[in-house]
Amino acid sequence: LSETAGKALGKAQFTTPTPIQKNGLPLMMKGESVVLHAETGSGKTLAYLLPITE
């Protein structure tokens, strides 16, 4: 992630990625299509949105 995104996440107190984010973000940042399945509150929305903002 960019320095700007990292700072914004830190400011929002998102310091450690959830398992779904840790597994999904690297693939999405490469532009790969993914389907993520996890419980509500697991961080899926943030995992999907971060690559869009980058």
pLDDT for 53 equals 87
Is the pLDDT assigned to residue 1 strictly greater than 90? no
pLDDT for 54 equals 85
pLDDT for 46 equals 92
Q: How far apart are CA 8 and CA 33, in angstroms?
A: 25
| Structural contact between residues 46 and 1, judged by C-beta atoms closer than 8 angstroms | no
pLDDT for 10 equals 94
Say which DSSP state 22 is in: H
Positions of E strands within the chain:
none
| Structural contact between residues 34 and 24, judged by C-beta atoms closer than 8 angstroms | yes
pTM score, whole prediction: 0.81
The tokens describing 17, both together, are 């990625």
pLDDT digits (tens, 9 = 90+) for 2-51: 999 999 999 999 999 999 999 999 999 999 999 999 999 999 999 999 99
